[in-house]
C-alpha cells in the first residue's frame, strides 16, 4: 500500500510538472493551427528526408498531448493529414490517439478512482452498473458524437470498471470516422481558417445518428424481447 501511494504521488508530480511546463513555456503555440500551417512545407521536407523518425516523433508528441489531456489534438490530427496523407495519416493518428486516450484512462483510474470511490461510492456503483449493462455500446456512442470532449470521456471512463482492452478497441473504432474526417481535411490545410470549417452541422448530425444507432438498436431489441416474453392475457 505504501509503495502504491508513493508511486501515485510520483505520477501526480510528473503529470503536474508536465502540464505546468506546457503552459509556463507557452508550448501550446506549437499546437496551433497557424503554426502548423506556417511550418507545413518545412515539416514535409523533413518527412521526405527522415520518414520513420518524423512518424515516431509525431506519435510521441500526439500520445503525450492526449495522455495529459492537453489542447491541440485536433490540430495535430490535421497536421497528420497534411504530412502523411490519408492512408498513413489515418493509421498513425488512429493508434496515437487511442494509445494516448488509454494512458489517460489508466492514469485517471490509478490516481482518482480510490478517492472518487470513497466519496461517491454509491453513485459510482450506479455508473458501473450502466457501463456493465451497456458497455461498449455506450462508449462507442460517446466516441462518435463530437459534442463530448474526448479528454473528459478518457478521465470519466477511468473511474469505471471497464476493461482497458475494451476501452482501447472501442475507442479506436469509435474515433475512426472523426479521424478520417480530420485527416482528410488536413490534406487541404491551407484552406482551413478555423476548426469550424471542418465540422458542418450536417456532418455533426450524421455522427450523432451513427453513434446513437447501435445503442438504440440494442434498446429496441431488449424491449421487443421483453414484450415477447410477457405472458399473454386471457
* Side-chain-side CA neighbours of residue 84 (13 Å): 27
Residues 73 and 64 sit within 8 Å (Cβ to Cβ): no
What backbone phi and psi angles, to 5 degrees, belong to 25?
-95, 10
Residues 100 and 70 sit within 8 Å (Cβ to Cβ): no
Question: What is residue 113's predicted lDDT score, i.e. its pLDDT?
Answer: 76
In this prediction, residues 226-230 reach a mean pLDDT of 59
Cell of 161: 470498471
Cell of 105: 484512462
Query: Which has more confidence, 110 or 84?
Result: 84
Question: What is residue 228's predicted lDDT score, i.e. its pLDDT?
Answer: 54
Question: What is residue 133's predicted lDDT score, i.e. its pLDDT?
Answer: 74
Q: Using CA atoms, how far apart are residues 105 and 159, in angstroms rounded to an integer? A: 8
* Beta-carbon count within 10 A of 79 CB: 28
Give residue-wise pLDDT tens across range 121-139.
666 676 677 677 777 877 8
- At residue 211, does pLDDT exceed 70? no
The full set of domain ranges for the chain reads: 2-228
User: What band does 234 get if pLDDT is binned at 50, 70 and 90?
Assistant: very low
In this prediction, residues 217-223 reach a mean pLDDT of 61
**Sign (positive/negative) of CA torsion 94, 107, 58, 71?**
positive
CA dihedral 189, 191, 192, 197 (to 10 degrees): -130
Give residue-wise pLDDT tens across range 71-109.
889 899 999 999 999 999 999 999 999 999 999 999 988
In the chain, the percentage of residues whose pLDDT exceeds 70 is 74
Residues 139 and 171 sit within 8 Å (Cβ to Cβ): yes
- At residue 16, does pLDDT exceed 60? yes
User: What band does 178 get if pLDDT is binned at 50, 70 and 90?
Assistant: confident
Q: Using alpha carbons only, how large is the chain's radius of gyration in Å?
A: 21
Highest mean pLDDT among 4-8, 83-87, 145-149: 83-87
- Candidates 148, 147, 208, 143; CA nearest to 170 is 143
Q: Using CA atoms, how far apart are residues 110 and 96, in angstroms rounded to an integer? A: 21
Question: What is residue 156's predicted lDDT score, i.e. its pLDDT?
Answer: 85
- At residue 120, does pLDDT exceed 90? no
Give residue-wise pLDDT tens across range 21-72.
999 999 999 999 899 999 999 999 999 999 999 999 999 999 999 999 998 8
Amino acid at each position: 500500500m505504501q509503495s502504491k501511494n508513493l508511486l501515485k504521488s510520483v505520477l501526480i508530480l510528473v503529470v503536474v510538472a508536465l502540464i505546468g511546463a506546457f503552459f509556463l513555456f507557452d508550448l501550446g503555440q506549437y499546437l496551433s493551427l497557424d503554426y502548423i500551417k506556417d511550418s507545413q512545407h518545412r515539416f514535409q521536407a523533413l518527412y521526405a528526408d527522415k520518414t520513420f523518425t518524423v512518424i515516431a516523433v509525431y506519435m510521441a508528441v500526439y500520445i503525450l498531448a492526449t495522455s495529459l489531456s492537453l489542447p491541440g489534438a485536433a490540430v495535430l490530427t490535421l497536421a497528420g493529414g497534411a504530412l502523411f496523407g490519408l492512408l498513413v495519416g489515418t493509421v498513425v493518428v488512429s493508434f496515437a490517439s487511442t494509445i494516448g486516450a488509454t494512458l489517460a484512462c489508466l492514469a485517471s483510474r490509478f490516481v482518482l478512482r480510490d478517492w472518487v470511490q470513497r466519496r461517491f461510492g454509491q453513485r459510482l456503483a450506479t455508473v458501473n452498473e450502466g457501463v456493465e449493462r451497456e458497455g461498449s455500446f455506450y462508449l462507442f456512442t460517446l466516441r462518435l458524437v463530437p459534442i463530448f470532449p474526448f479528454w473528459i470521456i478518457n478521465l470519466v471512463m477511468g473511474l469505471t470498471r471497464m476493461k482497458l482492452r475494451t476501452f482501447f478497441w472501442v475507442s479506436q473504432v469509435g474515433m475512426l470516422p472523426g479521424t478520417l474526417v480530420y485527416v482528410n481535411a488536413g490534406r487541404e490545410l491551407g484552406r482551413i481558417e478555423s476548426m469550424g470549417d471542418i465540422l458542418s452541422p450536417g456532418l455533426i448530425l450524421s455522427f450523432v445518428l451513427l453513434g446513437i444507432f447501435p445503442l438504440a438498436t440494442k434498446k429496441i431489441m431488449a424491449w421487443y424481447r421483453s414484450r415477447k416474453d410477457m405472458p399473454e392475457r386471457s
